[in-house]
Structure 1
Amino acid sequence: MSLNKITKTIENDKHSWVDVLIGAQMLFVAFGALVLVPLLTGLNPNVALFTAGVGTIIFQITTRGKVPVFLASSFAFIAPISYGVSQWGIPATLGGLVVAGFVFIFFSFLVKINGADVINKILPPVVTGPIIMVIGLSLAPIAVNMAMGSGIDASLPKYQLIIISMASLITTLIVAIWAKGILKLVPIISGIFVGYALSCFLGLVDFQPVINAPWFSVPSFTFPEFKWQAIVYMIPIVIAPTIEHVGDIMAIGSVTGKDYTKNPGLQKTLLGDGLATSVAGFFGGPPCITYAEVIGAVTLTRNFKTRIMTWAAIWAIAMSFIGKVGAFLASIPSVVMGGIMVLLFGSIASVGVNILVKHKVDLSISRNMCITALVLVFGIGGMIFDFGSYVLEGISLCGILAIVLNLILPRS
C-alpha cells in the first residue's frame, strides 16, 4: 500500500471517530426534550430513546440519507397521550399513535400526487395557528399545578416546591436567551440540572431505585391495542406536527443550501416521519418528529453530514439498554418538570400566534375571525360533543372544526 493510501485511510478513520463523537453531541442536544415527553405522559423514557434511534434510521433510509435531521418525541402529542392514557389506557393510546403515523403517510401520497402546495391548501395558517395555540394553552393548568407541587407527597412546605420549579424555569430562560454556543441549545437539560440539584439538596430525591436498577436492561416495550375511539381521537392531532415537519425541512434546507422539498422530496420526508411514528407507537414510544434543537446544532457546527444523525441514533439505541438511565430519569421530581413546562407549553401557544402573524392572517375578515374564535373557545373552554359511545372533544374537536369551517365558509 502506498504512503498516500495509508495517509488517506488514517484520515478517514479519524473523521469516522469524529463523526461518532459529534453524533453523541447531537443526541445530547436532543436528550432533554426527547425524554421530557415520556416523563410527562407516563411512557417509558428508555423506550423513547430506542424508538427515537430506530425512527431516525428509518427516516434516513426512506430519504436515502440526504437530510441531516434527528427524529424524536413530539411535544404536540403530550396532551393527547395524557388524555388517551387516562381514558383508554396505554396500549389503546399507542394504537392511536400507530394510526397517526399512517396519516403522515397519507399526506406524503397527497404531496406526491398534487405537489407540496396541497398541505397549505388543506391546512392554511388560519387553521393551523389556532389549533397549535389550543395545544399549548390547554396544557397550561397541568404545567401550573405541577410547578406548584401538586401531587407530591413530601414534607417540604409549598414555598420550597415553588422555589425548585421557579429555579428550573429561570435557568431555562437564562440559558435560552443569554447562553452562547452549544450551551444555548440545551436549555431544558440546564433547567433540569439546576432543579434536580436543588431537589437533592432539599431531600426530595430518592436514589435507592437508581442504585437498585441494573446497568443492562432491555427496554420495557409496550405493544399497542387498537380501539376506534382512541384512533379517531388521535388522527386530527397530526395536523400540528405535519406543519412543524414542513417548517423543519425548509429550515434545514436553508441552513445547508439545499431544497429538500424537491430532493429527496417532501413526500419522502413525510413518509419517513410517518413510518418512524408508527414504529415508535408499535414499540411503546411517543411519536417521532424532526427536532428543531438538532437543526440549531447543525446550524452552529456547520456539519451537514447525515451519518452524524445515524450515529446519534445508534447512541440513542445503545443508551436505551442502560437500566440506570431510566431509573435516574424517573427520579426527577415532577415539580422540576413543572417549572420547565410553564415555558414549554407557553412556547407552543406562541408558535400558533407566530403562524398567524407571520402569514399575515387578517382577523378583521369575518371567516378568519370565526375560525380562530371558535377553535380557541371550544379548545380552551372544554367543549364536548357526546355521541354516547364516542366523545369528541379537545384538540380532535378543534382540528375537525377548523378544517370544516375553512372548507365551507366563503372566502369573499
Structure 2
Amino acid sequence: MGEKRQAIYDATTLGKPKMAILGLQHMFAMFGATILVPILVNGYFQGEGLSVQVTLLFAGLGTLLFHVFSKFKVPAFLGSSFAFLGGFSTVANLNTGKYANMTYGEKLPYACGGIVIAGLLYLVLAVVIKLVGVKKVMRFLPPVVTGPIIMCIGLSLVPSAISNASANVFLAFVALAVVVIFNIWGKGMFRIIPILMGVVIAYVVALIMQAIGFTNADGSAIINFEPIAQASWVGLPPFLIAKFDITSIFVMAPIAIATMMEHVGDISAISATTGNNFIEDPGLHRTLFGDGLATAVAGLFGGPANTTYGENTGVLELSKVYDPKVVRIAACYAIVISFIPKISDVIGTMPTAIIGGISFILYGMISAIGVRNVVENKVDFTKSRNLIIAAIILVSGLGFTNGITFGGSFHFFGFYAVMPYITLTPLAIAAILGILLNIILPGNDYNFGENFKGDINRGVSFNNNAQDDEN
C-alpha cells in the first residue's frame, strides 16, 4: 500500500482500451477550466463572446500542433489561458475612436487579433533562444527562481478550487476522496485513472442527490440539464476571422510577457514530473514555438489563447503514465466533441463542486513539484540572497491577486501621450521580480551541470548521462 509505482513511458504496453481511458481522464482534467474561459469572456461581451465549440476545437488542434513542433516528446495539453481575461474585458469596454459605436460582437475579432500578435511574440523569443542557446537563457532561471514559480502556479489556482468546491462541499469531498482511494488502494488499471474515477463516481452521486431533492449551497440545482435539451447533435463551430487594430494589439499582446514566463515554469514542471529534460530536448525554443503558433492560429479563427495546462501535469503525477500519445488522444476527443454540441453540453453539466474537489489534489501536486525542485537542487536557504528571492516570488505570485495595471494619459515636458492599459498577472510579476533579483543580488551559488539529478528533475540538465557520476 502506497509503494512507489513504476513510471510508464510507453502506454502501448497497457493496450489500446486503457490508452483510450487514460486519454479520457486527461480530457476531463482540462475540460472545466478550458470551457470556463469562453463562459467568462461571454460575460464581458454580453453574450457575444467566445464559443465553447471553437475553444475546444483549438485546444485539441493546438495541442496536436504543439506536439508536432516538440517532436512528439512533451506530454503537455494546451487549454485556454486565463491570463488574457483582463485583456478581453478591456477590449469589451473600449468606447472611444473606432470602438465608440461598435457592438460587443464587433469588438471581439479585434481582441482575437491581439491574441494572434501575442502568439507571434512567442515565435520571436523562440528564435532568440535558438540563436543564443538555451543554456545562456536558463542561466537566468536557477532553481531558486523556477522552484517557487512552480509552487505559485499550483497555489495561485487554489482559490478557484475552493470557490468551485464551496458550491457543494459534500460533492467536492466525494470527488476528492475517490481520487485518493483509487490512487492509494486501487488495483491495476483503476490505480492509474483516479481522476476519471473521481469524476464518474462523483457525477453518479450528484445524480442521486438531485433525484432525492438535494440542491447546492445557494439553492440552485446540482446539475442543470436545460442546455442539453436545446443543443443539436452535430454542428460546425462558429468561427470568426480576427481583425487587427493597434489599440487592441497594445491591450492583448503585452500579456504574452506573462504567459511566456508561465510557459517556462510549466515546461519545467512537466520535466520535473516525468524526469525528462524537455528544455534541452526537444528544446525550449521548440515548445515556445509550438505554444505560440497554437495561440496565433486559435486567435486567427476566434479562439482564446492557449497555454500548457497545469491540470494535466497533475494528472501525469498521479497516474505515472508519461506517454505523450495519451495526451494526443485527449486532444482528439476535444476536437470530436467540438463538432457535437450536445455531448459538449453534457460534459459541461459537470457540477463545479466536482471540478473543485478534483482540483484540490491536482493543484497541490503542482505545488509539491516546485518544492521538489528546490529540494533536489539543494537550494541553500540559510543564505539571505536565496531566501529573499524565494520570498518575493511567493509573495508576489500569491499576493497580487488582481495583478498590476498601469497606463493612461501622461504629460511629459509639454508633450501629451496616451499609454494603453497593460495588466501584468501575479505570476508574471513574480517571474519578472525573481529573474531581476537573481541577476542583481550578489552571491549566486548555483552552477549548471554540478547537480545533475537536480537539473534533470528541474528539466534543465545539459548532461543527463553524467547524473550517475554525482557524489
**TM exceeding 0.5:** yes
2:132 is aligned to 114
**Unpaired segments of 5 or more residues in structure 1?**
1-17, 150-160
Q: Give the letter aligned to residue 396 of structure 1.
A: A
Point out which structure has higher relative CO (alpha carbons under 8 A, 6+ apart): 1
SS of residue paired to 1:362: coil
Contact 2:172 2:353 in 1 (8 A): yes
Contact 2:34 2:79 in 1 (8 A): no
Q: Give the letter aligned to residue 189 of structure 1.
A: L
**Unpaired segments of 5 or more residues in structure 2?**
1-13, 40-50, 93-107, 211-221, 409-420, 445-471
Partners of 1:104 and 1:325 lie apart in 2 by 34
| Distance apart, 1:406 and its partner CA | 1.6
1:28 is aligned to 24
Partners of 2:332 and 2:405 lie apart in 1 by 45
Partners of 2:89 and 2:183 lie apart in 1 by 33
Written as runs of structure 1 = structure 2, the 5 A alignment for 1:39-78 is 39-43=35-39, 45-62=52-69, 66-69=71-74, 71-74=76-79, 77-78=81-82
1:127 is aligned to 145
Matched, 1:378 2:410: no
| Distance apart, 1:250 and its partner CA | 8.3
Residue range with higher mean Cα deviation, 133-142 or 259-268:
259-268
Partners of 1:386 and 1:52 lie apart in 2 by 28
What is the aligned counterpart of 1:193 among 195, 200, 209? 200
| Distance apart, 1:100 and its partner CA | 4.8
Q: Give the letter aligned to residue 325 of structure 1.
A: I
| Distance apart, 1:92 and its partner CA | 7.2
SS of residue paired to 1:387: strand
Written as runs of structure 1 = structure 2, the 5 A alignment for 1:8-407 is 24-25=20-21, 27-43=23-39, 45-62=52-69, 66-69=71-74, 71-74=76-79, 77-78=81-82, 80-81=83-84, 83-85=86-88, 98-149=116-167, 161-203=168-210, 204-221=222-239, 226-245=248-267, 248=270, 266-283=284-301, 284-289=303-308, 292=313, 313-382=331-400, 385=404, 387-389=406-408, 390=421, 391-392=423-424, 394-407=426-439
Q: Deviation per CA, 1:31-66: give whole Å up to 9, x if none.
A: 112313223434555334322332244235435xx4
| Distance apart, 1:85 and its partner CA | 5.0
1:9 is aligned to none
2:413 is aligned to none
Partners of 1:235 and 1:197 lie apart in 2 by 42
Count of paired positions? 374
Q: Give the letter aligned to residue 193 of structure 2.
A: V
Higher helix share: 1
Q: Deviation per CA, 1:132-157: give whole Å up to 9, x if none.
A: 323332332332232111xxxxxxxx
Contact 2:150 2:369 in 1 (8 A): yes
| Distance apart, 1:192 and its partner CA | 2.1
| RMSD of aligned alpha carbons | 3.8
Contact 1:182 1:297 in 2 (8 A): no
Contact 2:298 2:304 in 1 (8 A): yes
* Identity between Structure 1 and Structure 2 (%): 32
Contact 1:23 1:315 in 2 (8 A): no
Change in 2 beyond 3 A, CA 1:23/1:220? farther
Partners of 2:178 and 2:391 lie apart in 1 by 35
Change in 2 beyond 3 A, CA 1:183/1:68? farther
Partners of 2:292 and 2:299 lie apart in 1 by 11
Partners of 2:266 and 2:286 lie apart in 1 by 16
Q: Give the letter aligned to residue 335 of structure 2.
A: I
SS of residue paired to 1:202: helix
The alignment's TM-score, normalised by the length of structure 2, stands at 0.66
2:44 is aligned to none
2:42 is aligned to none
| Distance apart, 1:362 and its partner CA | 1.6
| Distance apart, 1:312 and its partner CA | 5.9
SS of residue paired to 2:254: helix
Change in 2 beyond 3 A, CA 1:355/1:311? closer
| Distance apart, 1:231 and its partner CA | 2.9
Partners of 2:38 and 2:113 lie apart in 1 by 16
